Amino acid sequence: MSGFKETEGTYGVNPRIRDFLVSCIGAVAVDGGGVSLLSRTGAGEPVYGSDPTAEKLERLQFTLGEGPCVDASAGRSPVLVPDLESPGSGATERWPTFLAEAFDLGVRAVFAFPLRIGARSLGAVDFYRKAAGPLEDRDVVTSLTVVDTIALALLDGDADVDGAFGAESLHNLEVHRAAGMVMMQMRSSIEEAVLLLRATSFAEGVPIDALARAVVHGERRFEEESA
């Protein structure tokens, strides 16, 4: 379905991620979407587009080095542009070249969401629509949930972690506080620390918030040797 070569990026894009994205596109009022990932060096790489237009949009942004998806990857904020042609969108000033190309593709609205594990940006997911108009509130919620699920799927790789240890752990501040501690205990990266907390929670059948609290209170430590 996709023209992109898979598994060339740091993480590749597994079928699960494709399924999540396709289900989101079906549920939300958009025409298509794609995923771009950042390599360890910070270079962006398009890995998936749900249709030829989405593929072009992804590739275009990282070739030009500008666009909503590039900004979302680099920042901590979603970049939601309900109408690229509206003067109020700021699109002309922010992405002049991208704007011209998007216009040629017939794309009017772009909604880009960062894929983040706190301090680490993994890339971004973006959706496009040929008609102008904002995302409805419930579509924003769906998009945010799917984006979190994709971030976790990237983190877990092919590991089959149960859905019960789902996306809400990415919003639990105590999990992040604990991950910062575990990162230092294990001399690892922050995303490895979050993954270790999730995997331990799953393996031991302990809710991740309880595990995180034990770490923060110094009752549970992760040592390098035990890895």
Partner 1 sequence: MTDGNVMETPDSGSSREALLASTFVALADTLVDDYDVVDMLDGLVNSCVALLGVSQAGLMLADQRGALHLMASSNEATRIVELFQLQGTEGGPCVQACRTGVAVHVDDLTRATPWPRFADTAVTAGFRSVHAVPMRWRETTLGALNLFNEEPPSLGNEDQQLARAFADVATIAILQQRSLHRSSQLVEQLQSALNSRIVIEQAKGVLAEHGKVGMDMAFVALRDFARNHNLKLAAVAEALVRRERSADDILVAVPRPSAPGDADR
- Contact pattern from residue 151 through residue 190 relative to partner 1, giving x for each residue in contact according to CB under 8 A and a dash for the rest: -----------------x-xx-xx-xxxxxxxxxx---xx
By C-beta, is 1 or 138 nearer to partner 1?
A: 138
* Binders of partner 1 in range 133-152 (CB under 8 A): 134-135, 137, 140-141, 144-145
* Binders of partner 1 in range 64-83 (CB under 8 A): 75-82
Q: Is 90 an interacting residue with respect to partner 1 (CB under 8 A)?
A: no
Q: Is 213 an interacting residue with respect to partner 1 (CB under 8 A)?
A: yes
Q: Is 21 an interacting residue with respect to partner 1 (CB under 8 A)?
A: no
Q: Is 214 an interacting residue with respect to partner 1 (CB under 8 A)?
A: no
Three-state DSSP string of the chain:
CCCCCCCCCCCCCCHHHHHHHHHHHHHCCCCEEEEEEECCCCCEEEEEECCHHHHHHHHHHHHHCCCHHHHHHHCCCCEEECCCCCHHHCHHHHCHHHHHHHHHHCCCEEEEEEEEECCEEEEEEEEEECCCCCCCHHHHHHHHHHHHHHHHHHHHCCCCCCCCCCHHHHHCHHHHHHHHHHHHHHCCCHHHHHHHHHHHHHHHCCCHHHHHHHHHCCCCCCCHHHC
The one among 116, 129, 198, 220 contacting partner 1 by CB under 8 A? 116
By C-beta, is 1 or 27 nearer to partner 1?
A: 27
By C-beta, is 15 or 88 nearer to partner 1?
A: 88
List contacts with partner 1 (CB under 8 A): 75-82, 88, 114, 116, 118-120, 134-135, 137, 140-141, 144-145, 168, 170-171, 173-174, 176-185, 189-190, 213, 216-218
